């Protein structure tokens, strides 16, 4: 899952990005409203964490412009303004959730998970494809009752596939979930991660199917494509 973090306090931004990175999220960081607006025009994200008090274009204007383009990406406002008026204004502008600084990181992570579940229309935090189970709260994969050991990027690919189990996911969509702006992205790398995941899934009944020219599909062995 790819997150855009818009926060002008760099030490906080770096700490939060590192924390989310450890939880296997792909994170892009920007520090002003203009850069955030540009990325939201040109890139695809699963979630935006947005500060309101930004240099230049403020966060509320970024949010207004985002929603005016009919972009429904979930937005969580993270700000020092914890007044009722501030919360009401942010939510009325189109935010999906609102947290005040200072915050508890475990609560922030729980809110992120809830927003991602809502946007992907998965009310149940447990996703399953055959004997492959993914707990979106613990962010752990289990196959036939045993935890899967995955690298961060293998995790990102499999998370995207299981969240859309039974549906075709393009190589481009997988790349967008996998690589941050600072990464050296290679579409060919997707094939490497798919190969590794197939080896790790071979003892279960969930399989990654290649649909030539279209992308990849996660399904049970005994399920029809």
Residues 56 and 114 in one domain: yes
Say if residue 113's pLDDT is above 80: yes
List the CATH number of the domain containing 215.
Answer: 1.10.10.10
Gap between the Cα atoms of 49 and 85, Å rounded: 20
List the CATH number of the domain containing 33.
Answer: 3.40.50.2300
Residues whose CB falls within 8 Å of the CB of residue 158, separated by 6 or more in sequence, listed in order:
134, 141, 150, 197, 218
Does an H or E element contain 207, and which?
strand 206-211
**Predicted confidence band at 185 (pLDDT cuts at 50, 70, 90)?**
low
Tell me the mean pLDDT in the region 46-70: 94
Least confident segment among 71-80, 134-143, 171-180: 171-180
Q: How many helices (H) and strands (E) would you count in the chain? A: 8, 12
Residues 42 and 147 in one domain: no
Supply the mean pLDDT for the chain.
90
* The predicted structure's pLDDT at residue 51: 94
Full residue range of the structural domain in which residue 50 is found: 2-119
Tell me the mean pLDDT in the region 99-113: 92
Gap between the Cα atoms of 45 and 1, Å rounded: 8
The answer as to whether 225 is a domain residue is no
What is the separation, in whole angstroms, between the first and last Cα of the chain? 25
**Predicted confidence band at 225 (pLDDT cuts at 50, 70, 90)?**
very low
Exposed/middle/buried for 122, CB within 10 Å: 0-12, 13-18, 19+? middle
* The predicted structure's pLDDT at residue 187: 67
* The predicted structure's pLDDT at residue 79: 85
* The predicted structure's pLDDT at residue 218: 95
Residues 107 and 138 in one domain: no
Query: Domain count of the chain?
Result: 2
Residues 66 and 98 in one domain: yes
The answer as to whether 201 is a domain residue is yes
Say if residue 158's pLDDT is above 80: yes
């Amino acid at each position: 899952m790819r997150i855009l973090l818009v926060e002008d306090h760099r030490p906080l931004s770096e700490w939060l990005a590192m924390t989310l990175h450890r939880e296997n999220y792909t994170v892009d960081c920007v520090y002003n409203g203009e850069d955030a607006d540009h990325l939201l025009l040109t890139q695809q994200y699963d979630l935006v964490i947005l500060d309101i008090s930004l240099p230049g274009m403020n966060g509320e204007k970024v949010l207004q412009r985002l929603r005016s383009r009919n972009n429904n990406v979930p937005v969580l406002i993270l700000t020092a303004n914890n007044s009722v008026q501030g919360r009401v204004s942010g939510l009325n502008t189109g935010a999906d959730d609102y947290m005040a600084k200072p915050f508890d990181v475990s609560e922030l992570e729980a809110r992120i998970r809830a927003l991602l579940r809502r946007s992907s229309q998965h009310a149940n935090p447990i996703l399953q494809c055959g004997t492959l189970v993914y707990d979106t709260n613990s962010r752990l994969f289990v196959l036939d009752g045993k935890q899967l050991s995955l690298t961060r990027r293998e995790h990102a690919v499999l998370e995207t596939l299981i969240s859309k189990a039974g549906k075709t996911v393009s190589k481009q969509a997988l790349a967008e979930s996998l690589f941050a702006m600072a990464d050296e992205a290679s579409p060919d790398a997707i094939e490497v991660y798919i190969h590794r995941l197939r080896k790790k899934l071979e003892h279960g009944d969930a399989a990654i199917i290649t649909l030539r020219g279209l992308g990849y599909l996660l399904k049970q062995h005994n399920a029809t494509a």
